[in-house]
Amino acid sequence: MARCALVALALVLGGCMTSRTTPPEEPVFANATERAQVQVATLEQAWRLVNKRFYSPEFNGADWATAFDRYRDRAARAPNQEALYEVINEMLDELDDGHTGAMTPREAWEDYMAERAFVGLNLERIDGQWVVSELRPGSAAAESEIKPGWIALTRNGEVLPEEGLDFESEPGLSYTWEFLDADDDERSVTLVARTLPDWMPPEERHSPEGWVYLRFDEFEVEYHKWLRERLKAHRDAPGIVLDLRNNGGGAVSSLEHVMNDFFPNRVSYGAFVSRKGKRDNEKSAWFDGVGYEGPLVVLIGGGSASSAEILAHVFKHYERATLIGRPTAGVVIASRFFSLRDGGELQVGLHDFETLDGSRLEGNGVEPDVLVERTLDDLRDGHDADLAAAVKWLRAHAPTAQTAEL
């Protein structure tokens, strides 16, 4: 999956992909010269779009003026679309922007269909190691012997990089992973990729004292409708835990709806700033939301990005919630998707975001009110230290609560 797709904060979803029931096939060219011409033209199109639209006129310090020329020959020699997009994304990585990246035609089709191939491993960086934090329901990993807390070492014999995991899996293909299990014994597991929905299903839990745990992993219409329904059902709950630890962001419109559900009136939440310095001061949705006014705890971490970070900032600024966990990702740029000539898509960061206190979240993130260490032992023991800290906070701030677990 393209890295940029995981952290999209889309003001406008550009492009005009045609509905198709099957993924696009690798193009066939008459000869090597024709392939080279098309691939160089695709690289140039991506370069020109960034050159014209990228939010930073200094391109975040990248030597963008020479970038096309430096990558042209490698794009021409790429043997297939996947290799071409590796070149394009390497060029785009010079911008050091999590909201600027390219998707191959296959990835763009998967994004359009809101599903893709997964083996089902969610990995988290803990103590310099990639650790299995969660197994995706319905995946091969969820049906295997793999457990949260196993340390992932290699994929198909290749050592995992220290950062920037970006694997593209194909349905029906097998991928062999090497792990260290809970006893630090080496384990090899072969997993077959399955086509599954992009995002984890939302989750709701209850405690005997009435506290409610709500998790959703994307700011999108169906998710914010689900959240609104649950908040209406639990309007009188003595406390709510909102889990944003794996929320990678999404649409600004959904963010504005979610804000409304936790405030009695519309609230300002910051400004989007264009390349030319134009400021668009933003507020939550114009109509009334649920307006839940009870105690609120929000769980955040390195997987909280984009819209999730803006929401966390708003809660903190207005002292509406207590944030528990670890700093957020610091990836908060408004972006748009553009169609590329070969069927791929380019996401470009168009607007910077300025908080209510005038600071930037990009590169900085949001700090929790209560910092909780994420440890390997906790994962292996099935102990959620963040949620335990949330329960502790609720015990102190919900008078009727005694001892409860979520």
Per-residue confidence (pLDDT) for residue 11, from 0 to 100: 37
pLDDT at 401: 44
Taking 50 as the pLDDT cut, the residues of the chain under it are: 1-19, 401-403
pTM: 0.85
The amino acid that residue 344 corresponds to is G
Token couple for 338: 């553009």
Query: Which residues are within 8 A (CB) of 315 and not within 5 positions of it... i.e. 6 or more apart?
Result: 262, 296, 298, 321, 323
Give the pLDDT score at 17.
37
Q: Determine the pLDDT at residue 34.
A: 95
240 by Cβ neighbours in 10 Å (0-12 / 13-18 / 19+) ranks as buried
pLDDT digit string (tens) for 48-72? 999 999 999 999 999 999 999 999 9
Is residue 373 within 8 Å of residue 327, measured between CB atoms? no
Q: What is the pLDDT of residue 404?
A: 52
DSSP string, 196-247: EESSPPPEEEE-TTS-EEEE---BSHHHHHHHHHHHHHTTT-S-EEEE-TT-
pLDDT of residue 110: 81
The Cβ of residue 236 has, within 10 Å, a number of other Cβ atoms equal to 9
Type and span of the H or E element at 177: strand 174-180
Domains and CATH numbers, the chain: 3-113 (3.30.750), 116-197 (2.30.42.10), 203-397 (3.90.226.10)
Name the DSSP letter for residue 276: T
